[in-house]
Structure 1
């Protein structure tokens, strides 16, 4: 085969041109040596640029992670802030009621009832819901705690009386209602 004919194994693959193949060939002249030095310099510059981008990305990720941790920490620390704000008027009402030295028992009762309404409204605004089942309501072990089973003239396994109200927040029971339950006949 003549020396100037390229075989398939000599041809550049992946669509490379003959010029690219010539650039990839070992340098045989002093001018080609300069091309290699230029290419090494370009690749070194590109490597430095990519390393810088990588370091900046790493730093940005650390900053994002730190900001997220700070936000979670603040959310936990101040989670009850809104709830506490809604209870402050209740505290103010109790203090104002105690400041009245010459209040009659009727005034004290009215003040206590008004303060209780304020407290219940503050709880409801913060999604704390009262669990107070009516007599005859089916016993729900997820919301009620049976203190005793008593004979009663109603369906078995239903609430007879509520001894202490329960409370839930969202769908989670904070405290179950303490109830007595009708016994089976």
Structure 2
């Protein structure tokens, strides 16, 4: 089974973390929450769920994981300034491993300069940012482009999870 890294900071969109995380585990895969600090409590912006970071980004390597999930909300904004997060995502991409990003998740791909020539979706207000980063934006529930799986909002979670589980 696969080992999946969930990149997370506080103020994530509750269901965009909980639903994929629970489904990955239910399918028999291993899920680890990677934050900026180990054991840090990370709280969803709706206050419905919270998680403790299993590991700090400074202590992990992209090669230790088979896929990466980037939940939305304000979490990506809180992570995108970390050079270690950007390097981790770049190494994951270089290895051709799946990167699944929902809602604001593509902000990390933008900051890592990984969208040029790609086709993705995101939270619709990010369209200009995605296009300015060199990607084609599609307003669809899920867009799969090589190793990228992207979705727009919580209502797209079923399609997002379906495509993620397919590649795992």
> TM-score, normalising length from structure 2?
0.22
Greater percentage in strand:
2
Which is bigger in relative contact order (C-alpha 8 A, separation at least 6)? 2
Structure with max Cα Rg: 1
